[in-house]
Structure 1
Amino acid sequence: MPHRVGRVLFFHGVVFLWGYASSLLSPVLPSVLETFGLSFGAGGMLFAASSAGFMAGSLAGGAATARADRRRILVAAAAGLLASFALAWRSPVYPLLLVAVAGAGSAGGVLTTTVTALTGEIHPDRRAASLNLLNVFFGLGGIVGPLVASAVLVAVGGWRPVFGLSVVPVALALAVAVALRPIELQAALEGPTRAPGYGDLLRRQGMRPFLMGALLEGATVWGMVHWFVTYLTVERGLEILAAGRTLSGFWLGLLAGRLVMSRLLLRFRPGSVLVWASAGAAAVALGLTFEWPPMALMVLGVALGVLLAGAFPTLMGLAMDEGPQLAGPIAGALTVASGLGGLVSPEVIGLVADGFGLAWGMRLIPVCLALLAGVAAAVARRQPAVAGPALHPE
């Protein structure tokens, strides 16, 4: 039991670390654009590289989780993240920085997919609630990342030390991963059986709404995370510290929202909660694209985070409820779908910004959220009145 508790704590620490790491790109983007003389569209390639790496890592992690010792997977991924941050720190040219960011994204995809699948296996009777709680730590990392990056940018005046400083927590995570005991395959615990794969998942037509929902969620979150600071500084005239605090407010909303969702999902139908939250998020995201005082922007950012918080972990938990033996492939496939949204959305926003202004590019976010509400409605129609044995009967 102590070893299991230690693993669970480590899983939450890994998700915190990736929340921190993935939130660094938005605060450093203005400095990167200035250093290399890039347009918005060219700067969007930084996010595309991160998302492409994340998708590749998620696919690899989802497949490996069903077949290999999970401790070795976590060690390899942490080592890859450490090497990528070190390369970003020392990158003298933009193409090399793109390679480093893609490597970090790949390592992050393996890490998050592996710990997500393991969390789903540990808590089979309350997956949606447990995965929302797990993602609270992603939100915590997202709060810390912009604050640290903005402070370093102001103190040092460049983006490279942000990555240099971040080598330290990644090295600590690698040391802990090395110290873990081997983590048994679920198949080995249940008896001899063929390891499930992506083919088994794709043959299930009922998984398609979950994949589409994850795609739209990724487009929304990463479009917001990657462009929000630049939007606030360029279009709304905020100082970098104020813009960084506002992005941290969005992450704070994600954190608070996942804490709330982890409780709500024990009492209400997850699909219905997701419908109303997505619709409300669409309205708030649209409001963010208009003129507001700085404090109002902070409040709207927090509100958007709260409403959007439970989308991905709830979709993941519901999908695992429909195919519990496919936990690894489901974690990989939905994470890849989210990564695909995160790959396309920031680049499209950058291209629209080049042609029509960044405010119009940011209006793609409420469009994606409105579509997500429609997908959530389709998922909700398939859910029973009581979502699982951990819920209170009506």
Structure 2
Amino acid sequence: MLILVACVVIFIYGMMASLLGTIVPSLGATLSLTNTQIGYLALAQGLGLAGTSVVAGAFMDSKGKMAGVVVGLLASLVGLTMLSHPTSLLLSVIAMVILGCGGSLVIVGSNAIASDVPDDRRAATITFLNVFVGLGGFATPFVAGNLLGSDAVKSAYCGIGIVAIALVLTLLTPFPKNRPELRRGRAETVSIFHSGVLYVLASITFLYTACEFGIWNWLPKFLIATGLPNAKALNILSLGFASGLLIGRLLATKLLTKASTYYVNLVCCSLMCLSLFAVLRFPAAAGGAPLVFFTGLVMAPIFPTTIAIVGKLFQQRSATAIGFAITCGFSGLVVSSPLIGWLAGTDPSGLKRGLMLLPAMSAAVVVILVLFRNRLVKTTE
């Protein structure tokens, strides 16, 4: 039952991840937002995600995973309620900060729950859990584009209903108490941050998350700028990218019971770099969705396998270590989103220039994996 709750809750995170990109066309038209101002919204979301994840892991190690998940869902409800009445850019920015705070608690809590499984199944379990990120990411733009007329307000109300159901399910599910060994305090926490491997893994989550959210937040607007209608652009985000993530993580769940997490990451990161470049270089082909789908497919295992390695290395303070790695990941969103908006400028066609940052970041992940091969291979054995 606990894993079911983790799956439902991380589905909410998937919804939040794709929400901004889903509502940007409608919200942008309503508030007359430029690319730079949309970048502020993404920055606000990233600040909420990164700022909260700094303390999320330690909070859950101390107060329990249920407390963290419940607070995260409540914050999501507040943020969505504010977003259902988008009267100004300022209120929308505040709503995105609150949604970021809620999303951070939700994803740290879900991954911390899954990290409690035995070592030989951890990577596969966390990857399976993150399948529901793809499912949530698929549902939001698909429902908004096909059933809600791409309307930002209706999308927010739909999200409120789903988050409320998840909150009730969480409150009705018994969570195990934290094990005594997880309460050893400051000295053990400090020892976590003495490990150089943690910072290598955190740099990977930093760069990868910047790429993933770059797609969630900007792909529909990029495709619309090439001449596609709103509904088709949202369908490409859901049926293309989100479906690729979903199917890729289902396949990776089986693959990771046999293959090395290091080599899976290396191959997938290399392919991610090439596919992101191809999506931006050949937008007409991206409009047909196959390239976008392939991009989601190869990106699917990277985040959960990296988090699984963190959970394996730091079992005594897993939520704290996972929270730190996820904090660094969300910091990538904080850095990349305003930079993309700034590089894009006021010209809608400038998004292609700004989004070229994503394949560059993918290439940096490949370089890190190659440079630290010996240490990472030893860690994943």
With the length of structure 1 as denominator, give the TM-score of the two structures.
0.90
Shift of 1:73: 2.3
Aligned to 1:184: 177
CA RMSD of aligned residues (A): 2.0
Q: Secondary structure at the match of 1:91?
A: coil
Question: Is 1:127 matched up with 2:122?
Answer: yes
Contact 2:262/2:377, CA 8 A, preserved across alignment: no
The percentage of counterpart residues that share the same residue type is: 24
Q: Which letter maps to 1:97?
A: S
Q: Secondary structure at the match of 1:20?
A: helix
Shift of 1:270: 1.1
Q: Which letter maps to 2:300?
A: A
Shift of 1:267: 1.5
Deviations along 1:198-246, one digit per CA (max 9) or x if unpaired, are 5332221221110110100011001111000000001x11111111111
Shift of 1:295: 6.5
Contact 1:135/1:258, CA 8 A, preserved across alignment: yes
Aligned to 2:57: 62
Contact 1:275/1:373, CA 8 A, preserved across alignment: yes
Q: Distance in 2 between matches of 1:341 and 1:351?
A: 16
Aligned to 1:148: 143
Q: Per the alignment, do residues 127 and 367 of structure 1 end up closer, same or farther by CA in structure 2, a change over 3 Å counting?
A: same
Equivalent residues in 2 for 1:255-270, closer than 5 Å: 255-270=246-261
Aligned to 2:304: 313
Q: Distance in 2 between matches of 1:101 and 1:35?
A: 17
Aligned to 1:377: 370
Equivalent residues in 2 for 1:224-235, closer than 5 Å: 224-234=215-225
Contact 1:19/1:137, CA 8 A, preserved across alignment: yes
Of the structure 1 ranges 213-222 and 202-211, higher mean CA displacement relative to structure 2 is found in 202-211
Contact 1:238/1:294, CA 8 A, preserved across alignment: no
Q: Extract unaligned runs of 5+ from structure 1.
A: 1-5, 389-394
Q: Which letter maps to 1:240?
A: N
Contact 1:48/1:343, CA 8 A, preserved across alignment: yes
Q: Per the alignment, do residues 201 and 385 of structure 1 end up closer, same or farther by CA in structure 2, a change over 3 Å counting?
A: closer
Equivalent residues in 2 for 1:1-394, closer than 5 Å: 6-154=1-149, 158-186=151-179, 188=180, 190=181, 193-194=184-185, 199-234=190-225, 236-248=226-238, 249-293=240-284, 297-354=288-345, 357-384=350-377, 387=380
Shift of 1:376: 2.3
Deviations along 1:136-182, one digit per CA (max 9) or x if unpaired, are 0110111111111223552xx64222111211011111111221224
Q: Which letter maps to 1:373?
A: V
Q: Per the alignment, do residues 203 and 83 of structure 1 end up closer, same or farther by CA in structure 2, a change over 3 Å counting?
A: same
Q: Which letter maps to 2:282?
A: E
Shift of 1:350: 1.0
Q: Per the alignment, do residues 191 and 63 of structure 1 end up closer, same or farther by CA in structure 2, a change over 3 Å counting?
A: closer
Shift of 1:352: 0.6
Contact 1:275/1:374, CA 8 A, preserved across alignment: no
Q: Per the alignment, do residues 324 and 380 of structure 1 end up closer, same or farther by CA in structure 2, a change over 3 Å counting?
A: farther
Deviations along 1:243-292, one digit per CA (max 9) or x if unpaired, are 11111110111111111222222212111111111111111110111234
Q: Distance in 1 between matches of 2:38 and 2:377?
A: 45
Q: Which letter maps to 1:121?
A: D
Q: Per the alignment, do residues 85 and 199 of structure 1 end up closer, same or farther by CA in structure 2, a change over 3 Å counting?
A: same
Shift of 1:385: 7.7
Contact 1:60/1:110, CA 8 A, preserved across alignment: no
Contact 2:35/2:341, CA 8 A, preserved across alignment: yes
Q: Which letter maps to 2:3?
A: V
Q: Per the alignment, do residues 126 and 379 of structure 1 end up closer, same or farther by CA in structure 2, a change over 3 Å counting?
A: farther
Q: Per the alignment, do residues 146 and 191 of structure 1 end up closer, same or farther by CA in structure 2, a change over 3 Å counting?
A: closer
Contact 1:275/1:376, CA 8 A, preserved across alignment: yes
Q: Distance in 1 between matches of 2:265 and 2:71?
A: 35
Q: Per the alignment, do residues 94 and 38 of structure 1 end up closer, same or farther by CA in structure 2, a change over 3 Å counting?
A: same
Q: Per the alignment, do residues 26 and 198 of structure 1 end up closer, same or farther by CA in structure 2, a change over 3 Å counting?
A: farther
Q: Which letter maps to 1:370?
A: A
Q: Distance in 1 between matches of 2:283 and 2:86?
A: 37
Q: Which letter maps to 1:113?
A: V
Q: Distance in 2 between matches of 1:162 and 1:384?
A: 44
Q: Extract unaligned runs of 5+ from structure 2.
A: none
Q: Per the alignment, do residues 182 and 260 of structure 1 end up closer, same or farther by CA in structure 2, a change over 3 Å counting?
A: closer
Deviations along 1:324-362, one digit per CA (max 9) or x if unpaired, are 223111210111111011122121111111178111111
Q: Secondary structure at the match of 1:125?
A: helix
Q: Distance in 2 between matches of 1:359 and 1:273?
A: 29
Deviations along 1:15-60, one digit per CA (max 9) or x if unpaired, are 1111012211102112222211221011111111111111122222
